[in-house]
Amino acid sequence: MADPDQTAPALKPSTVAVHAGRPPREVDQPFNEPVTFASTYVAGGDLEYGRYANPTWTAFETALGELEGGRCLAFASGLAAVSVLLDLVGHEALVVAPSTAYQGTLGQLADLEMRGRVRTKLVEMHDTEAAVAACDDAALVWIETPSNPNLDVADLDPIVEAAHEAGAYVVVDNTFATPLLQTPLAQGADVVLHSATKYLAGHSDVVMGALVTRDDELFTILKQRRDLLGAIPGPMETWLALRGLRTLHLRVERSQANAAELARRLEGHPAVSLVRYPGFGGMVSIELAAGALAADLLPRKTRLWVHATSLGGVESSMERRRRWKAESPTVDESLVRLSVGIEDVEDLWADVSSALDDLT
């Protein structure tokens, strides 16, 4: 942050989201770090080349690093960050991962396993006993909580403890919760992963990822992998993501309030057989009594809610997850994932409830 006062009490996350990663507060300095379009820098300094460093990345990384409580690296996408992490483990090492999680993460793991690069063990991470038992012999334990799209919540403390006893790294995909609702590094996780595409950027206009770690040695390894693989974001995308991050707390607060209210009302709708809502965050998944066909129809009947994949934008959107061939068979055929935005909750309810009425 600009001019940190070491004696001041720690700032609250919403203040950090607004202020962290600003240029120095000096006469004629801009409020915001500009977009630096540069492939190279005049020699003799630390930046050197555009694949190694960019001042716009640094501003974003400072802000997200402060929010998560570690050192951050920006990546080209969430999945670029996933691939750098999976690259950490040795040949044929054991990766323990959730049986239901973001399909791209599970897809990368399945691909690595098929090629003999790693071994994988899939468990239900919200089944703490099973998760803890699976950690034995692991090199990497992957947790996503709440999970995509079933919104199951893992109990981090005992799993982190068991993983560390086995000498494994613990990665937590914190995309759904955001650092405002959960800070896994403070609970002992080694790395936090974000698809910044979602809540952090928040306006459905950027694809970007990030990793955050407290461990300097791990940070150096991950930075080296990013340098070598070139999995870097564009400066414009990074600037947009930081612009989005400035209002993260307001967006999360509003979409969470909307989501909690909609989850409560959806419980009472006859077309809905199950509401999955972990009690926090802006994501709600529902399963429909009338099955897959009804779930395919629902997003086509809404006028306000957009039928689209992805999540975490200011606009509410929804989709039936199993319309994707790659989605895990552990996800119900009738599951519709709702990304609740920041609109007026009454407008959202009127739209989704009348679409649901049409299905009964």
Query: Interface residues with ligand PLP (CB under 6 A)?
Result: 77-79, 102, 104-105, 144, 148, 173, 175-176, 195, 197-198, 207, 209
Q: Which is nearer to ligand PLP, 104 or 234 (CB)?
A: 104
What whole-number distance in Å separates Cα of residue 304 and Cα of residue 302? 6
246 classed as catalytic: no
CB of 140 to ligand PLP, least distance (A): 16
Annotated catalytic residue, options 71, 169, 173, 322: 173
Q: What three-state secondary structure class fits 84?
A: helix
Whether the Cβ atoms of residue 283 and residue 311 lie closer than 8 Å to each other: yes
Annotated catalytic residue, options 22, 71, 102, 225: 102
CB of 37 to ligand PLP, least distance (A): 22
102 classed as catalytic: yes
Q: Which is nearer to ligand PLP, 61 or 173 (CB)?
A: 173
Q: Which is nearer to ligand PLP, 57 or 176 (CB)?
A: 176
Annotated catalytic residue, options 22, 71, 152, 198: 198
What whole-number distance in Å separates Cα of residue 194 and Cα of residue 209? 5
Distances (CA, A) of 336 to 148, 235, 275, 318: 12, 34, 10, 7
198 classed as catalytic: yes
Looking at residue 9, what DSSP letter applies? P
b (16+ CB within 10 A) / e for 57-88 = bbbbbbbbbbbbebbbbbbbbbbbbbbbbbeb
- Strands 94-98, 119-123: pairing is parallel
CB of 173 to ligand PLP, least distance (A): 5
Q: Which is nearer to ligand PLP, 192 or 271 (CB)?
A: 192
51 classed as catalytic: yes
Nearest residue by C-beta to ligand PLP? 78
Q: Which residues are catalytic?
A: 51, 102, 173, 198
